[in-house]
Amino acid sequence: MLVDKEQDYSQGKHADPETVAAKHISRIVNDGYTLIRGAVPQDDIDRVMDDYLSWTEKNKALTAQFKKSSGFNSRLVNFHSVSNHAFNLFQNQKLLAVTDGFFNQESAVYTSLFFQEGTEQNIHRDAPYFCTFPEQKFLGVWFALEDATSLNGALNVLPGGQLLALNEYAKRHEILSKHYPLDGQSSRNLFVGSLNRLKSFVQQLRKVERLPEGAGWSRQIGFVEPTLWDDYQAWVLEDCLSKGLKVRHIEAKKGDIIIWHPMLPHGGSKIVQKGNTRYSMVMHVTPVGTQVHGSYLFFAPHSPFTPRPMAYTQSTELMHRSMFTSGCSFMKDE
């Protein structure tokens, strides 16, 4: 396993902010991720931690219901919507220069996850559950709220894996068809699907309601599809390794930010020293107004789908950069 050898762009001749942002963007495109060292002041992180501890204290009974066998809390979804300090992590000029620059558009938080310990997640691409329309209008933005090491579980990435995703519609179709056979009129449906997709794009511009998701398939394809997810991620890993890509382990310091490409395969390394926390927060970032869909679009990109207009909050200048959420909640981790 390789260990990240990050170049520090914030020093010397690279120090001009635009040059720094451009280097990070080019690293996201070419390597699939970048690391912005020391981007968040330590005090700002301490405020987020204080908010988390007081929120879990205030919601003690709820928090207790979401304890894992390790004794730590399950992931907390959209904590940024109840903690201004958490949301402020995103209001970071170094970060916004990169995310806005990558999209060439103003970026916003779609959702977020707050983790108390390492996730030990297998290598995966986020894309099936963050399938934007059009695709790849997404970045994973990960904040180290304390040091993440090989002991408490750091991030693992497969640099270059994002470049292998350019021509994989046939593979997605193959995975889908294994579990969701086409309903007898396959070729006709696919043809109609392509036409409908074109029509749907036009209708979307006109904001008209359209056909249900996954029309043409034997049953409705949902937003979250664990079977399709598992098959797809297993194939992604096999494909990357067979092409010689190597897993890289990224140790991060409290205050570092890691940004990953929409198609970068990544995961959480094993927690070697059990019982240690690894506080971190990941924000799923999209250009303001972007529609985010799920498996029904990712695995059947030529089928019609219902548009999902997304409300991005407009109440204050600050919250303009966030999608409207219905508050924060735990998601059971095990």
Ligand X SMILES: O=C(O)CCC(=O)C(=O)O
Using CB under 6 A, list all residues that contact ligand X. Answer: 113, 115, 118-119, 121, 126, 140, 155, 266, 268, 280, 282
The listed partner (ligand X, Fe ion, none) that binds 323, CB under 5 to 8 Å by sort, is none
The total of other beta-carbon atoms located within 10 Å of residue 322's CB is 24
Q: Token match 């204050």: residue?
A: 316
Sequence-ordered list of residues with C-beta below 8 angstroms from that of 128, at least 6 positions apart, any chain: 225, 228, 229, 232, 294, 295, 298, 299
Tell which residue, 116, 114, 94, 109, has the closest CA to residue 39: 94
Which lies closer to ligand X via its Cβ, residue 98 or residue 285? 285
Which lies closer to Fe ion via its Cβ, residue 139 or residue 182? 139
Which lies closer to Fe ion via its Cβ, residue 126 or residue 231? 126
Pick out residues in 94-133 that bind Fe ion (CB under 5 A): 126
Residue in the shown chain whose Cβ atom is closest to Fe ion: 126
Instruction: Specify the 3-state DSSP secondary structure of 265.
Output: coil
Q: How many residues does the chain have?
A: 334
CA angle, residues 237, 7, 112, in degrees to nearest 5? 55
Which lies closer to Fe ion via its Cβ, residue 196 or residue 295? 295
Residue in the shown chain whose Cβ atom is closest to ligand X: 268
- 293 phi and psi, to 5 degrees? -115, -175
The listed partner (ligand X, Fe ion, none) that binds 282, CB under 5 to 8 Å by sort, is ligand X
The listed partner (Fe ion, ligand X, none) that binds 261, CB under 5 to 8 Å by sort, is none
Q: How far is the CB of 280 from ligand X (least distance, A)?
A: 5
Q: How far is the CB of 284 from Fe ion (least distance, A)?
A: 9
Distance CA 84, CA 275 (A): 29
Q: How far is the CB of 124 from Fe ion (least distance, A)?
A: 6
Beta bridge mates, 156 = 249, 267
Q: How far is the CB of 113 from ligand X (least distance, A)?
A: 5
Q: How far is the CB of 261 from ligand X (least distance, A)?
A: 12
Q: Does 231 bind Fe ion (CB under 5 A)?
A: no
Q: How far is the CB of 258 from Fe ion (least distance, A)?
A: 11
Tell which residue, 66, 302, 1, 28, has the closest CA to residue 172: 302
In 124-250, where does DSSP find H-type helix? 169-179, 186-206, 226-242
**Residues of the shown chain interacting with Fe ion in the complex, contacts defined by CB under 5 A:** 126
